[in-house]
């Protein structure tokens, strides 16, 4: 299953399984997903990788695909970091709450990558991260607008007589 070509892969030169970007949810070979995730995320904990390995191999042996999708990450690095969370907190939380296999930020191409067992779970994860992007962007831009300089304001008046 070779879905990529030079012009359509969001993760250029590192992806044997990613589909063209005009498709939303694509079933991909579960065994190929495992090797792809190992390549893009070499520093992920070994316990997590063993658990992921077992899920993906079981799915592969049953002839079940893994579903893949991606969305564009925010262009503002501060927003992207808040969407991901410290140490990947919000990605990990979304992964466990929605039941997807893995969420990753490809910094080179600025996309969030998602893998999961079915369309339902993947859609839930995509919606959760999309909502977080919108909410974080809104808060970020609101804080920039509210960043008023009050240095020329007079001091506070004491309420003691």
pLDDT tens sequence across 60-110: 999 999 999 999 999 999 999 999 999 999 999 999 999 999 999 999 999
Other CB atoms within 10 Å distance of the CB of residue 114: 26
Nearest-angstrom CA–CA distance, 88 and 150: 35
pLDDT computed for residue 22 by the predictor? 43
Nearest-angstrom CA–CA distance, 73 and 130: 9
Nearest-angstrom CA–CA distance, 3 and 141: 37
pLDDT tens-place string over residues 3-60: 344 444 444 444 434 433 444 789 999 888 988 898 898 888 889 899 999 999 999 9
Cβ–Cβ < 8 Å for 82, 140: yes
Number of residues assigned to the chain: 161
pLDDT computed for residue 67 by the predictor? 95
Q: What are phi and psi of 138, to 5 degrees?
A: -60, -50
Cβ–Cβ < 8 Å for 125, 100: yes
The pLDDT-based confidence of 143 (bands split at 50, 70, 90) is confident
pLDDT computed for residue 68 by the predictor? 94
Q: Can you read off the two tokens belonging to residue 63?
A: 């002839």
What structural domains does the chain harbor?
Answer: 26-137 (3.30.1370.10)
């Amino acid at each position: 299953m070779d879905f990529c070509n030079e012009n359509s892969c969001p993760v250029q030169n590192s992806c044997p399984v990613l589909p063209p970007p005009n498709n939303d949810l694509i079933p991909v070979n579960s065994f190929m997903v495992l090797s792809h995730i190992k390549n893009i995320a070499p520093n992920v904990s070994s316990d997590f990788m063993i658990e992921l390995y077992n899920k993906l191999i079981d799915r592969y042996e049953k002839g079940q695909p893994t579903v893949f999708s991606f969305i564009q990450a925010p262009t503002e690095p501060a927003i992207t970091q808040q969407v991901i969370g410290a140490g990947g907190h919000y990605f990990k939380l979304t992964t466990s709450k929605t039941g997807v296999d893995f969420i990753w930020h490809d910094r080179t191409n600025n996309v969030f990558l998602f893998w999961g067992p079915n369309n339902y779970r993947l859609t839930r994860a995509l919606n959760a991260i999309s909502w977080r992007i919108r909410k974080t962007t809104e808060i970020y831009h609101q804080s920039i607008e509210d960043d008023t300089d009050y240095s020329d304001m007079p001091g506070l008046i004491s309420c003691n007589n």
